């Protein structure tokens, strides 16, 4: 990549949206062939919630919604890297409107939603393959570990989550 995408400068450039959604915060390397097994998407939100069977299981105010997927080679080290990046990513505006503040610095909220479909591979055929996604049992263990570690970060506001493996409905107002 020639440069990092700046959402303020490049507002409205849809060709860059997926680059931001799969930003280096979710990768150990910028090189596509050396991507980290764990994949995630971050969305800065004014508020977000997740419901299962019409019951809200998690809700946040200003902060980050993270869709988190786990691949076969993932481990706690990969998830710790993503958690550290997530809470320290400077994507919130300071008093001058510059993106200089992290989730921790604003005591923002974090909503964590498991999302194996991040591993959908639709390069061949018309139906995505999810072979690269981790099997449910170890993926749930990593997901729960991620939530536990996030809740241990005292500088954060509310840490909420969905229910692993459930049919979740996510609602958000992006920021």
Q: Which residues are catalytic?
A: 115-117
Q: Report the candidate in 146, 138, 143, 149 with the shortest Cα–Cα distance to residue 164.
A: 143
Which token pair is 156?
Answer: 């954060």
Task: Name the residue with tokens 């200003």.
Answer: 62
- How far CA 172 is from CA of 46, 63, 65, 106, in Å, comes to 8, 11, 8, 19
DSSP state for residue 107 in the 8-state scheme: T
Which token pair is 3?
Answer: 């440069």
Report how far Cα 59 is from the mean position of its chain's Cα atoms.
15
Report how far Cα 78 is from the mean position of its chain's Cα atoms.
13
CA distance 118 to 99: 27
CA distance 47 to 172: 6
DSSP state for residue 16 in the 8-state scheme: G
């Amino acid at each position: 990549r020639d440069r990092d995408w700046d959402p303020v400068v490049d507002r409205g450039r849809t060709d860059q949206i997926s680059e931001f959604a799969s930003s280096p915060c979710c990768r150990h390397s910028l090189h596509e062939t050396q991507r980290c097994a764990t994949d995630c998407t971050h969305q800065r939100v004014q508020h977000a919630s997740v419901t299962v069977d019409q019951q809200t299981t998690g809700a946040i105010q200003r902060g980050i919604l993270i869709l988190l997927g786990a691949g076969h080679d993932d481990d706690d080290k990969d998830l710790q890297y993503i958690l550290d990046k997530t809470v320290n990513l400077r994507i919130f505006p300071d008093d001058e409107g510059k993106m200089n503040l992290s989730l921790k610095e604003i005591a923002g909220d974090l909503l964590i939603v498991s999302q194996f479909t991040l591993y959908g591979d639709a390069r061949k055929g018309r139906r995505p393959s999810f072979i690269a996604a981790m099997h449910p049992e170890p993926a749930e263990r990593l997901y729960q570990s991620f939530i536990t570690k996030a809740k241990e970060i005292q500088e954060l506001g509310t840490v909420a989550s969905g229910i692993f493996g459930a049919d979740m409905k996510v609602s958000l107002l992006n920021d």
